[in-house]
Amino acid sequence: MARIAFGTSGWRGILCEDFTFDNVKVVVQAIADHLKENGEASKGVVVGSDTRFMGRRFTEEAARVLAGAGIKAYLCNRDVPTPVLSFEILRRGAAGGINFTASHNPPEYNGIKFSPSWGGPALPETTKDIERRANQMLGSVCYSEPSLEEAQRRGLFETIDPRSVYLAALEQKIDFDALKNIGKLALNPMYGTSRGYLEPPLQSLGVPYAIINNHLDPYFGGQPPEPSEAHIPDFIALVKNDPAIRLGLSTDGDADRFGILDADGSYIEPNYIIALLLDYLIRVRKLSGGVARSVATSHFVDAVAKKHGVPVFETPVGFKYIGELICQDKIVIGGEESAGLTIKGHVPEKDGILACFLVAEMVAREGKTVRELLERLYGEVGCFITRRDNLRLSPELEAAYPGKVASVPREIAGTAVTDVITLDGVKLLLADGSWMLFRKSGTEPVVRLYGEASNEARLSEVMAAGREFILG
């Protein structure tokens, strides 16, 4: 029997193989036991799911297990964005949230993400405890399951609709009035949870928009629900073929990640969006504080931070570390290269809906395209170009990998290595300002190679040197 293992965003597995009702119930019971031991069970748990197969059934089973443990479940009435669930945890003062989502993974996957009372993704000490408890119970019936009707009679079950309160709160964080004259927008919820969240603010303002992929489809149109350039060809075509469209806004399956298209349909890397928004929030919004980025995220962020004289907090990969800094009110914005961000005063969780509307606000108030804003910022702080490749390892290369990264060379890509950062993976800083990062996947024989340089030619050299170092 496969063991339960929590990664950076919870436990994920393939439906009907390891992600089964029996295993799900064990994990929910482990969460319940964790909360009871920490004295938080009386505050209840918010339960939701994305649009994947059997999502509603999984949430109902979770609510029954929680009720059997004497913990009230606040069950969302429909599929719910991850940031909305986080918002609802904080609004209700709940003990936490159980979210059935595999985010941007392909449709055969599902997952459980637990968020504790502070609203962000659970930290390793929490997930390790839940993981330990679950694995001790695997293969045994360790839970009781009253019917939902019985749970409701006992005050341990309630159906909730968190959409309107989240959207009302978003009005305090986005200058929606600025969007009145932005022109036509394009929206792409990718068959996911942002349906009915992206449209209402625009409808109330009379902002014209075109929308695609806004109905339920657990297959996500045959693509992983990830708003990266490779997975949104239909959206790119829509924007390119309609000269009236000013901006394309997309979210992933659970709406915690964003994808941005400029007016000409060109895809804008999330790294660049984070840097642009940092500059905008400090320069135009006059917000104060530092910035957090993961170790894999562009140093473009650092250059903008230096321009404004604010600190940079480098974190391991995993938004929980950035969420902590939001809770501590240390940062204006925190983001990851994988298209997740949040801002000061908002939830300590990735929010693709917020990100989309922030970019729209920035474009509207600045009166420029994203590319024009990017070129202006490059002129002020220098150019940064980033890339990520996945390197698949043979058994021999996988066995040799730990030894390789334990003794990195003094020079690589023709340039001296000035520093080695082992915060998460192995990151080599080079004398010319370029860098590369090696991060081993925890689930497959793959090394993720990240690189950055000031121009395409130099970046190609850096990436080639990185591939040679690992695969040569």
Q: Are the C-beta atoms of 253 and 103 separated by less than 8 Å?
A: yes
Whether 1 shows a pLDDT value over 70: the answer reads no
Whether 35 shows a pLDDT value over 80: the answer reads yes
pLDDT band at 141 (very low <50, low <70, confident <90, very high): confident
Burial (Cβ within 10 Å: 0-12, 13-18, ≥19) of residue 462: buried
Q: Hey, what domains does the chain have and what are their CATH numbers?
A: 11-163 (3.40.120.10), 171-381 (3.40.120.10), 385-471 (3.30.310.50)
Q: What is the pLDDT of residue 212?
A: 98
Could you tell me the two tokens for 88? 């609802």
More confident: 59 or 144: 59
Positive/negative CA dihedral, 373, 179, 355, 198: negative
Amino acid at 264: D
Whether 225 shows a pLDDT value over 80: the answer reads yes
pTM summary value: 0.95
pLDDT band at 442 (very low <50, low <70, confident <90, very high): confident
Per-residue pLDDT tens digits for 264-307 = 999 999 999 999 999 999 999 999 999 999 999 999 999 999 99
Whether 182 shows a pLDDT value over 80: the answer reads yes
Per-residue pLDDT tens digits for 102-115 = 998 899 999 999 99
Q: At what angle do helices 82-92 and 352-366 cross, to 10 degrees?
A: 100
Whether 79 shows a pLDDT value over 60: the answer reads yes
Spell out the alpha helix ranges (H) of 292-351. Answer: 300-308, 319-327
Alpha carbons 79 and 57: distance in angstroms, whole number = 12
Among 183-192, 308-317, 348-357, 402-411, the least confident range: 402-411
Q: What is the pLDDT of residue 281?
A: 98
Q: Give the list of residues 6+ apart from residue 399 with CB closer than 8 angstroms, or none.
A: none
What are the CB-based long-range contacts (under 8 Å, 24+) for 217-222? 217/51, 217/191, 218/51, 218/52, 218/53, 218/107, 218/191, 219/107, 220/106, 220/107, 220/190, 220/191, 220/192, 220/253, 221/190, 221/191
Alpha carbons 257 and 349: distance in angstroms, whole number = 10
Alpha carbons 336 and 317: distance in angstroms, whole number = 8
Average model confidence (pLDDT) across the chain: 96
